[in-house]
Amino acid sequence: MFNSKLLYKLVVAAAIGAVLYAVIANYIYDPSATRFLSQKMDLKRALQPPIWLNVMYVHVAFACIALLAGAFNFSNAVLRKPKTFHRMSGYTYLIAILIVDITSGYMAPYSTGGKATSIPFNLLNIAWPIITIIAISKIRKKQLNSHRRWMVRSYVFCFTNAVTHLSLNMLQKGFDLSFTISYTVSVYISIIGLWIVAEVINRTVFKEPLRLA
């Protein structure tokens, strides 16, 4: 779906980088999420760490699958293969983001920052599958360019966690803000920023019709 090979390579690199960060941070460096969970204070619901951690592990695993499947499906080489190949990869992406969405729905009420962060997360949990289903409906109607634009809008949210934690570190180290404030602001930067990125890509990079030749 990318007319530029360089741009596609950058997307793949970003996806691999986000996957590596997620795997190292959540499965190797701090598998018990000790630092993150220590910031969850004044929760209205009692947090059960063993359950939360298992849900988080599933969440991260399928987020990684969505990142890789999504990047894979933007490849022009994949589009030149039989349609079944692209379709199966696309449905893998759909299933992955639905599982990410469901697990996120469980974790949202325990979000650091309370309602200020749980509300945008819940709104994203509603919007993300809708956006993805719209993308699927467009390809079924043979609207290739529209399908690509909606898939861009869907795919950018695979980077929500990576952008949130990148912003979190920058705000804490650059402005000496508390973890809670930094995390709350980072959630909004991530969700709003990624939507803006998607629209910029659609209006510039994907302004021209899709070319597979």
When comparing pLDDT for 129 and 45, which is higher? 129
Does 145 score more than 60 pLDDT? Answer: yes
Q: Are 74 and 2 in contact (CB under 8 A)?
A: yes
Predicted pLDDT at 177: 87
Lowest mean pLDDT, pick from 7-21, 38-52, 55-69, 118-132? 38-52
Per-chain mean pLDDT for the chain? 88
Predicted pLDDT at 35: 75
Tens digits of per-residue pLDDT, 44-70? 667 788 898 999 999 999 999 999 999
Closest CA relative to residue 45, chosen from 124, 117, 108, 119: 108
Distances (CA, A) of 20 to 26, 47, 52, 144: 10, 27, 22, 31
Predicted pLDDT at 151: 95
Predicted pLDDT at 94: 96
Does 157 score more than 70 pLDDT? Answer: yes
Q: Is 85 exposed, middle or buried (0-12, 13-18, 19+ CB in 10 A)?
A: middle
Most confident by average pLDDT, 5-9, 172-176, 188-192: 188-192
Tens digits of per-residue pLDDT, 68-100? 999 988 887 766 666 777 888 899 999 999 999
Alpha helices in the chain (DSSP H): 5-23, 34-38, 49-73, 76-80, 83-107, 115-140, 144-155, 160-175, 179-203
Tens digits of per-residue pLDDT, 183-195? 999 999 999 999 9
When comparing pLDDT for 157 and 109, which is higher? 157
